[in-house]
Amino acid sequence: MEAIRKQATKLREQVARQQQAVFKQFGGGGYGGSDNMVTDEAELMLHQKLERLYISTRAAKHFQRDIVRGVEGYIVTGSKQVEIGTKLSEDSRKYGIENTCTSGSTLSRAAVNFSRARLHMEKERGNLLKSFGTQVAEPLRAMVMGAPLEDARHLAQRYDRMRQEAEAQVIEVSKRQAKVMDGNGNPDLFSRLEAAETKLQDLKSNMAVLGKEAASAMAAVEAQQQNMTLQRLISMIESERAYHQKVIQILDHLEGEMASERQRIEAPPPTVETPPPPPPPPTYEEVNFNSTSTSPMQNGSSYEVDYFLGEVMFTYNAVSDVELNLSSGDYVVIRKVSNNGWAEGECKGKAGWFPFEYIERRERVLASKVTQVF
């Protein structure tokens, strides 16, 4: 009996040492919120790294999803703005082409210029929205729903489940050790304890391999998330910056055109040259003067001139039978000029008197103009 008692005490001390070693290897702070398993330092660091990676990739995934939702909302709103702006452009173009204003075409030209600039700006806005969709939203959406992230998360979750199973196995080993201590050397208890310890070691080995694999996959996904998200944000900023630069150029050009049209409106109206008042009608002697004579009259009422051509600068409507109707642009043959400002000549086959100040002498005239006189 004494020998059996000594053997039991020795076994009890051995089991206690094994139990302490097991609890030392699987310490507290388990992945997934478990705090009952004592692990070694390497496994604990791996577990904590996986926790950080899991939190980081989850936050990045949510951020990517927020960007996608924001960009999609911006595209929807921007598309409506493009539609409204295009309609405004069409209305402005229609007014500029079809207006019937009688006081000038300044507003018509301004409306056409505004229509062209607005249509150009809306096309640039459409290109911006398209780039947001293809260069920002689609790549991030693909990454959020992509296989690498899901595969890495599955590995981390498998590691978590295996760690929980190892924790449960530690408890099982502890129970087997207690039974061995109280079993008075029962061989079955020893064999069951050995089997539990073997299973625990296998779980620990597999858990270490799976943990490293999961950490590597999660780290790769985290790096990809960081790079991809940053690149898409930079691309979005560059596209929007280029859009605003083009819009500024369009607006600067439009402002110049509008300012020019405004100057047309605000400028004082051009002075219209009015014809001088006609002189008193020719005297009776002048009317009955021999048109073929080139000698000066004795009373000095006319003077000798050579025949010459003159262009009518102002329209003149005759008020008597001896006067000649003239239209601006006509050519007349002037045969005599009176001292009182009247001239006698022929235009379009008719002869008569007219105010000499309405005529401007022409030295050189096209032959076609000369034929119009006779």
Give the percent of the chain with pLDDT over 90: 30
Residue 291's alpha-carbon distances to 111, 114, 194, 295, 337, in angstroms, are 60, 64, 152, 10, 11
What is the structure's pLDDT at 126?
96
Asked whether the predicted pLDDT for residue 9 surpasses 60, the reply is no
Phi-psi region of 104 (alpha: psi -120 to 50; beta: other; left: phi over 0): left
CA separation for the pair 55, 65 (Å, rounded): 15
* pLDDT tier at 3, thresholds 50, 70, 90: low
Look at residues 347, 349, 274, 272 and name the one whose alpha carbon lies nearest to residue 311.
Answer: 347
Q: What is the DSSP string of 84-152?
A: HHHHHHHHHHHHHHH---SS-SHHHHHHHHHHHHHHHHHHHHHHHHHHHIIIIIHHHHHHHT-HHHHHH
DSSP secondary structure of 189-255: HHHHHHHHHHHHHHHHHHHHHHHHHHHHHHHHHHHHHHHHHHHHHHHHHHHHHHHHHHHHHHHHHHH
CA atoms within 13 A on the CB side of 11: 21
List pLDDT tens digits, range 104-158: 788 888 999 999 999 999 999 999 999 999 999 999 999 998 888 888 888 888 8
Q: State the DSSP H helix or E strand holding residue 275, giving kind and residue range, or none if neither.
A: none
Closest to 57 (Cα-Cα) out of 161, 187, 148, 124:
148
The segment with the largest mean pLDDT, out of 38-52, 294-308, 343-357, is 343-357
Q: How far apart are the first and last CA of the chain?
A: 163
Q: What DSSP element (H or E) covers 23?
A: helix 2-25
Question: Tokens 């190892």 belong to which residue?
Answer: 166
The residues near 42 (Cβ < 8 Å, ≥ 6 apart) are 208
- Going by C-alpha positions, the residue among 299, 242, 255 that lies closest to residue 124 is 242
- Name residues whose C-beta falls within 8 Å of residue 182's C-beta, 6 or more positions apart in sequence: none
pLDDT at residue number 93: 93
Angle between helices 2-25 and 187-266 (to 10 degrees): 10
pLDDT digits (tens, 9 = 90+) for 88-118: 999 999 999 988 777 778 888 899 999 999 9
Residue 175 has pLDDT above 90, yes or no: no
Hey, what are 64's tokens?
């990517």
Can you tell me the distance from the alpha carbon of 140 to that of 68, in angstroms, rounded to the nearest whole number?
7
Pick from 109-113, 244-248, 370-374 the range whose average pLDDT is largest. Answer: 244-248
Q: How far apart are CA 252 and CA 150, in angstroms?
A: 50
Task: Tell me the mean pLDDT in the region 255-271.
Answer: 78
Average pLDDT of span 290-313? 55
Residue 267 has pLDDT above 90, yes or no: no
* Range in 77-81, 85-89, 182-186, 211-215 the model is least confident about: 182-186
pLDDT at residue 291, rounded to an integer:
42
DSSP-derived letter for residue 267 is S
The one-letter amino acid code at 299 reads: N
